[in-house]
Structure 1
């Protein structure tokens, strides 16, 4: 065992005196792979909304109802804010409220879609806005298949996938940097020899 580098792993070359080799190349490859996996997972979740935002059609969608769901129970359809208020569950997070919207495409055909993100405790949007008009939001949709839609103004459409992508990118970048130096010898600074301690005797 090299006294100057007692923790050198087996996959690293034997260092010369005064040289340190970081090693652990396999672990750093695993870090890169984990980062790429997170990047792919995040991208797969926002790729479709991004495609629709860049190349799809746009329209204003009108909120028409709220659907209250819970696993094991039938869905409850709420068509007014009064019904929504009566159905709120301020302490039970097992319920999910989904806003459903209606929009018309360029040919005048009407489509109803559910927002891709639900909310606990209360819906993301009221059915009626502060001016007493139906709540509207921007929707982007595929011209050939208008039922394939996304709501770019909903933060949750981008936040979680974006965080996965950013964390994965950082993980892959740091792992690549560490892997680059994994088998490269790093010269250690040489310390000057210390003078032996001398004892003095009293006369």
Structure 2
């Protein structure tokens, strides 16, 4: 779908210079002399490189619609993570570095959303929140108030986060998988 240069918004995926680019930031500029343009910061979806480009309102670019499919995480096999498409029951193998640091939050049977372009995976989204047990937490320091500071703790998956002083080992907590932060105690 073709769009004008002034219609580009953050979150759009564009086909530009033979690559797929996710728009990170846009800034509409109206100089005193000459025509208005849109200054666009983009990130390549394949290799992660960044690019700053100017698009005039009269220019058109190809906006790509990515297919989003739900997959279920099955297991880890060597350097690959195996997922299953719940509609076709086909399995998809993704390299561990494709998922990145958040792979520690993958749990058996967890539902994830994989973004595909021409049947090729280019992105993955885990659930925003997961519930995990605290494997190790420092003891409470006497006289320390709950609002004053957080203390380090290690989750059952080995990830280190900061938690309030009243949280102790063995408790289950809800963690934000995007920010890697403590949210609340689990119910």
Normalising by structure 2, what TM-score?
A: 0.29
- Greater helix proportion: 1
Name which structure has the greater RCO, CA cutoff 8 Å, separation 6+. 1
Normalising by structure 1, what TM-score?
A: 0.27
Computing the radius of gyration from Cα coordinates, the structure with the larger value is: 1
